[in-house]
Every structure is written in structure tokens, then in C-alpha cells.
Amino acid sequence: MPDPQSHETADPPRNPGHSRSPGFSVLDASALLTLLFQETGATAVADAIADGAAVSTVNLSEVVAVLVRHERDADRVMHAVIQQVTVEPFTTEDALAAAALWAPTRATGLSLGDRACLALAQRLGVPAVTADREWANVTVGITIQLLRPARS
């Protein structure tokens, strides 16, 4: 069973009112797509979901767009996903946090969707799980779990 590589960027900020259990994490679109397309790291994503996982509505939209592009039944697939993953709205707080993450992540090319995932992980005080290797170079005070090894 593949284990995600944990990339500690610093102690994750904790918000006592919103912190979750130690196994809880936030999935980005690439992580969910890894599971849905049964790519390397899919078992680790399934394990993360079993431990408790959330996804931002922004990342959920990205996943649906990919499913539509690949002519998959997005409604059926998303119905199954939302039965197993907590869907969190992209709040005003998240929007401000994602915007603040632009400067420190600009060099790595993180998208708004990537920053939305990080903002949600920051708000909930839990790790972010991704298949995007570029995140290995992100140091913004949020724990990042890589599903695939970073390129050397």
C-alpha cells in the first residue's frame, strides 16, 4: 500500500475551534483524480478518505471539469465522492488566505485551486494531500502530504 510522503513545511497553524482529528486531511483536485482514475497513490487517497477528509468546493469543481472532459458520468461519480468526503465551501476567509498565499507560492506556479486547498487546510489546521510534485517546494506553514515522490 503506497504511503503519501509527508512534507513538513512547519507546524501547521491550529485554530482550536476548527481543528480536526489527527487523521483528518484536505484533498486537492489532483488527489481526488488520482483515486478516481486509479493512478499511483490511489490507495493512499482511499486511506486518507477513510481517516476523514475534506475538499473545497473549488477543488470539487476542478474534479468535475476533468470528469466532464473525459466523458465520465460526473453526477454519479460526484454523488459517491460527497458521500465519503466532507465538502467545505470556499469562504471569504479562504479567499483572503488563498490570495495571501499567492506571493509565497508564485515561484512554484500554484493555481487558485491549489491555493484554495491550502487555505482550507490552514483554516481546518490539518495537512493538505496532493499528487502535484511541485508542492514539495512550498513552504507556507502547512503540512503537505505528497502522494508521489518529489522529482530530484
**What are the grid coordinates assigned to 15, written together?**
485554530
pLDDT at 4: 39
Instruction: Dump the DSSP string for 97-132.
Output: HHHHTHHHHGGGT--HHHHHHHHHHHHHT--EEES-
Q: For the chain, which residues score pLDDT lower than 50?
A: 1-19
Return the CA Rg of the chain: 14
**What are the grid coordinates assigned to 27, written together?**
484533498
The pTM assigned to this predicted structure is 0.83
Looking only at the bridges linking them, the beta strands covering 25-27 and 53-56 are parallel
| Per-residue pLDDT reduced to its tens digit, 4-34 | 344 443 333 333 334 455 569 999 999 999 9
Domains of the chain: 5-146 (3.40.50.1010)
**Using an 8 Å Cβ cutoff, are 51 and 19 in contact?**
no
Interatomic CA distance for residues 45 and 31, integer angstroms: 6
pLDDT at 56: 97
Mean pLDDT of the chain: 86
